[in-house]
Amino acid sequence: MTDARKTARLRQLIARPELTFLMEAHNGLSARIAQDVGFEGLWASGLSISAALGVRDNNEASWTQVLEVVEFMSDATQIPILLDGDTGYGNFNNVRRLVRKLEQRQVAGVCIEDKLFPKTNSYIRGEQQPLADVDEFCGRIAAGKDAQTDPDFVIVARTEAFIAGWGLDEALRRAEAYRRAGADAILVHSKKSTASDIELFMKEWQRRLPVIIVPTTYYSTPTERFRELGVAAVIWANHGLRGALWAMQDVYRQIHRDQSLVNVEDRVAPMADVFRLQGAQELLEDERRYLPSRTGQYRAVILAAGQGAELDTLTRDQPKCLLPINNKPVLTTLIGCFNEVGVKDVVVVRGFGKELLVGPNYRWIDNDEHATTRDLYSLYLARGELDGPVLISYGDIILRKYLVEDLLNMPGGVAVVIDADLRAGGKRRDLALCSEPYSNAFFNRRIQLRRVWSGSDISSAHGQWPGILAATATGTESLRRTLNRMAETRDIRSLSVTDLLQELTAETVVDVVYCKGGWIGINDVSDYQQAGRFQ
């Protein structure tokens, strides 16, 4: 059974007093774009679909191949689709089977034209194309109407009388016969450069059925004139494909000529648009909801909202987490490290340059107040992600995989990495006091974090915190509880994750994984230069 909302909506669009516009689409992506820019309905163009498949508009693409394309279009959108069904791909039997298959795919209607199968495009020697016998074509219409199970499914009868050179009388005779056969609307086609054929037809037709037009050749006619004539719907029949054709040719030529992408990157859509149109975010959210194995897996929350002002011109136009190190952005390297140890669900809190932070293998949360807040506020914005085992990390660090593995293998609720080498890791100084200083003699001995603070006085410090912590499901409850309390009692916008760790040490045991190096944080130009040598 077809989606009654789509069929009913198409029927309303062609029956309402206001002029309706249907936009051509030829695949799922173009259909989604047309919907997103505001079109209320789609024209699944036979010309455009065949061209996109690389074949002629002469029924060289089989009707089942067209059906497959239209199914993707239907799945990608919520607005109704009117399929350009050519001649119905045969006789009455083909038409009724086509209608049943379209209903199954939630396609709202089909337009069939009174020509012979296989058809030839109307703009190619149209006057030499024979038209179908009127009675035989009426049989196609009647069979289609009898086959539909949804009473709102729309069948549009298209007459090519003007195209074939038969004139107004034949166009009117055929349209009236098609109305009597059960058509829901008439599409009158003309390839003149003016709308004179349409004007003559509309004057005589007297709105016996809604009339649809395709002003591809008489495009200069003001749209207001179509309203005055009482046209029900206008189809912009092939301009999505033609626009894409020019754009692709231009970009391809540039890349071929330059053997580089540098001159086209600012002329093409950002990857974020591609992922949005594909629904990548929706899938990631559904994976969290439905995949049963997720309860025992860690999720990573990466705090990457900052610009990195101390890096001078390096971060003028991009966040520091996108700085390339060994030809790979810092964030990509960090996510790759997490993925290698099995942490595949990654959430990035982005802020400065957020339009540049896109990727198919992570989700994002926006901190639009990044310029006036600190990193704990970014974590607070991501508090909805703190509902199970979680890995929390700054977005400007690179670290060895074994540090993450050691952290995730800790048995307690909350654990942090502490580097006993106070000279390592760049210029960041989040210092730590632990229950015991580092010793080579440690073996299966649990060390706890006692205090953590930011500063330069290392005299009482046992090490420094690189900016990464892990919490089991139980630990995450403590972390979330502490975070919420701090938001209620303190100005969380001015606090750091270091402040959160200090609060946590008073509430719960925070285990320590000691290390000696194996990471670097990027806070200034010197750190960045050193990171380039980090292997």
Q: Residue 151 has what pLDDT?
A: 95
Phi-psi domain of 88 (left: phi exceeds 0; alpha: psi -120 through 50; beta: other): left
CB 231 within 8 A of CB 211: yes
| Nearby residues of 19 by Cβ (< 8 Å), 6 or more positions away | 223, 226, 227, 231, 232, 233, 234
Q: Where are the domains of the chain?
A: 4-237, 271-531
Report the C-alpha gap between 92 and 72 in whole angstroms: 26
| Residue with the two structure tokens 């298959």 | 101
| Nearby residues of 271 by Cβ (< 8 Å), 6 or more positions away | 358, 359
Would 4-237 and 271-531 be classified into the same CATH topology?
no
Could you report the per-residue pLDDT of 400-411, keeping only the tens digit for each?
A: 999 999 888 887
Report the C-alpha gap between 138 and 180 in whole angstroms: 8
Q: Residue 293 has what pLDDT?
A: 43
CB 402 within 8 A of CB 467: no
| Residue 426 banded pLDDT, cuts 50, 70, 90 | low
Q: What residues form DSSP beta bridges with 349?
A: 303, 365
Between the two ends of the chain, the Cα-to-Cα distance in Å is 60
pLDDT-wise least confident of 136-140, 281-285, 301-305? 281-285
Which of 129-138, 181-190, 335-344, 445-454 has the highest mean predicted lDDT (pLDDT)?
181-190
| Residue 287 banded pLDDT, cuts 50, 70, 90 | low
| Per-residue DSSP letter, 21 | E
CATH 3.20.20.60 for domain 4-237: yes
Averaged pLDDT for residues 26-49: 96
CB 298 within 8 A of CB 387: no
Burial class (CB in 10 A: 0-12, 13-18, 19+), 253: exposed
Q: Percentage of residues in the chain with pLDDT exceeding 90?
A: 69
Q: How many CB atoms lie within 10 A of CB 38?
A: 9
Q: Residue 125 has what pLDDT?
A: 58
Residue positions annotated with a catalytic role: 57
Report the C-alpha gap between 337 and 65 in whole angstroms: 43
Size of the chain, expressed as the number of residues it contains: 535
- Does pLDDT of 173 surpass 90? yes
Which tokens go with 19?
């002029």
CB 410 within 8 A of CB 470: yes
Phi/psi of residue 235, each to 5°?
-105, 120
Q: Percentage of residues in the chain with pLDDT exceeding 70?
A: 93
- Does pLDDT of 37 surpass 80? yes
CATH 2.60.120.260 for domain 271-531: no
| Residue with the two structure tokens 């340059």 | 353
Could you report the per-residue pLDDT of 94-140, keeping only the tens digit for each?
A: 999 999 999 999 999 999 999 888 766 666 555 667 899 999 999 99
Which of 123-132, 362-371, 434-443 has the highest mean predicted lDDT (pLDDT)?
362-371
CB 486 within 8 A of CB 503: yes
Q: What is the mean pLDDT of the chain?
A: 90
Could you report the per-residue pLDDT of 482-498, keeping only the tens digit for each?
A: 999 999 999 999 999 99
Q: Residue 145 has what pLDDT?
A: 98
Q: What residues form DSSP beta bridges with 41?
A: 22
DSSP string, 117-144: SSP--TTSSGGGPPBPPHHHHHHHHHHH
Which one, of 425, 371, 369, 432, lies nearest residue 399 by Cα?
425
